[in-house]
Amino acid sequence: MKAKQLGDSEIALGIDQVNADHDQRLNLAMQDLRMSVGVLEISLLISGTLVWGFGDLMVQAIVL
């Protein structure tokens, strides 16, 4: 295969396209990560609240 003879502007355009694609993928990955961390935080908050609240009720029921 022959190497393409590209001008400086075409090379710069190609590099800009690669950078734009990378930035877009990075933003999507960060958004997915934030969503996952948010869901984990909420689930831990809810489960901790349920364990704390119902745990106290169960201990009181067993002790009394």
The residue type found at 55 is: G
Tokens found for residue 47: 């489960």
The residue type found at 10 is: E
Domain range for 11: 7-64
Q: Is residue 2 part of a domain?
A: no
Q: Is residue 1 part of a domain?
A: no
Tokens found for residue 16: 């800009």
Q: Is residue 15 part of a domain?
A: yes
pLDDT tens digits for range 15-54: 999 999 999 999 999 999 999 999 999 999 999 998 888 8
pLDDT for residue 4 is more than 80:
no
Residues in the chain: 64
**Residue 24 — φ and ψ, nearest 5°?**
-65, -45
Query: How many domains does the chain contain in total?
Result: 1
Q: Is residue 20 part of a domain?
A: yes
Please state, in angstroms and rounded to a whole number, the distance separating the CA atoms of residues 61 and 64: 5
* Per-residue confidence (pLDDT) for residue 47, from 0 to 100: 93
